[in-house]
Amino acid sequence: MQSLIQQIISGIASGGVFASLALALVLIYNAMGLVNFAQGEMAMFATFIAFTLIDRGLSYWIALPVTLMIAFAGGVLIQRVVIRPVERAPVLTLVIITLGMATLVNGLAGFIWGYVPRSFPSPFSARTVNILGAVVSYQDMGVIAISAVVLLLIYLLLQRTTIGLTMRAAAHHPEASRLLGVRVSWMLALGWGLAAAVGAVSGIMVAPVLFLEPNMMQAIIIYAFAAAVLGGIESPLGAVVGGLIVGLTVNLAGAYLPFVGGDLELAVALAIIIGVLLVRPNGLFGRPTVRRV
């Protein structure tokens, strides 16, 4: 029983990480109708920036917001410089561009920081606390708390502010939004910035556990894809719920299904992707695509 509670809590913690990255994927999917394959690498790069800031003596709690701001600016810049010129290009072109960007960012990080895994500091103590007899780490609870705060802030921004409203409008109906005076192109850039920042949170949260190196996010992005697809790829709420479900499933499967163990956890995520696409292609929160003829 205790160990089940432990597994659930660390499942929620991983879920928070997946949810953040999945939300980043969803934000950009809504803005350009396509998944950004470079999202994980962008998050990894931002984590390296946080690492450098902390390494230079900045406190974690200053380095975190500074990194998120840099990530935001970087996201906006990428949209303006790389994506905007090819906005109207065929989907395949955009796929190749984001894949190319993933390789480029990965190589750049390797070039600057090298491929030796580094330990990333965690602001939370490595100690544990007993909850209902279960041993829970401060690390897990800290990750849950930070993910929750970030996801809540994004929710409030999108749902409760005018800028969030215009961002959603621009993503769904660019033409109609222009006629209402919405500066669509800038709203899409803001979406990229926001996605980059949320993605960076996932990288920074996971780095103390995984060790920081250029390929750190390559497994995480698969879990995030699974979460986003499960939630219905267009739905921010779906991404969060999907992230939690994937986190819990992967953790519990790893702990209780002997044949899964630690080795096949990634396969569980892929099974979720394939299962959702087969059974419920629009995900939990997606709306079915109706095509009128």
Partner 1 sequence: MPALLELDEVRAGYGQTSVLHGVSMSVEEGQIVSLLGANGAGKTTTLRSITGGVRWTGDIRFAGRSLKRLSTEDVVRCGIAHVPEGRGILTELTVDENLRLGSHLRTDGADVRKDYDRVFEYFPLLRERRRLSASTLSGGEQQMLAVARALLMRPRLMLLDEPSLGLAPMVVRAIFEIIRTINQADGVSVFVVEQNARLALEVSSHAYVLEVGRVAVSGASSELIGKESVRRSYLGY
Q: How far is the CB of 168 from partner 1 (least distance, A)?
A: 7
* 103 contacts partner 1 (rule: CB under 8 A): no
Q: How far is the CB of 167 from partner 1 (least distance, A)?
A: 11
Dist. CA 203–CA 48, nearest whole Å: 9
* Complex with partner 1: residue 178 or 280, whichever CB lies closer: 178
Q: How far is the CB of 293 from partner 1 (least distance, A)?
A: 16
Q: What angle do CA 52, 55, 58 make, to 5 degrees?
A: 95
CA distances from 223 to 13, 64, 99, 282 (A): 13, 23, 17, 18
* Complex with partner 1: residue 31 or 97, whichever CB lies closer: 31
* Complex with partner 1: residue 10 or 177, whichever CB lies closer: 177
Please give the backbone phi and psi of residue 209, each rounded to the nearest 5 degrees, phi first. Answer: -85, -40
Q: How far is the CB of 185 from partner 1 (least distance, A)?
A: 9
* Complex with partner 1: residue 124 or 186, whichever CB lies closer: 186
* Complex with partner 1: residue 118 or 178, whichever CB lies closer: 178
* Complex with partner 1: residue 74 or 232, whichever CB lies closer: 232
Q: How far is the CB of 22 from partner 1 (least distance, A)?
A: 19
Rg, the chain, Cα only: 19
CA distances from 207 to 24, 129, 239 (A): 17, 22, 21
* Complex with partner 1: residue 104 or 183, whichever CB lies closer: 183
Q: How far is the CB of 62 from partner 1 (least distance, A)?
A: 34
Binding mask 152-191 for partner 1 (x = CB under 8 A): ----------x--xx-xx--xx-xxxxxxxxxx-------
* Largest separation between any pair of C-alpha atoms in the chain: 62
**Residues binding partner 1: number (CB under 8 A):** 17
Which residues sit at the interface with partner 1, rule CB under 8 A? 162, 165-166, 168-169, 172-173, 175-184
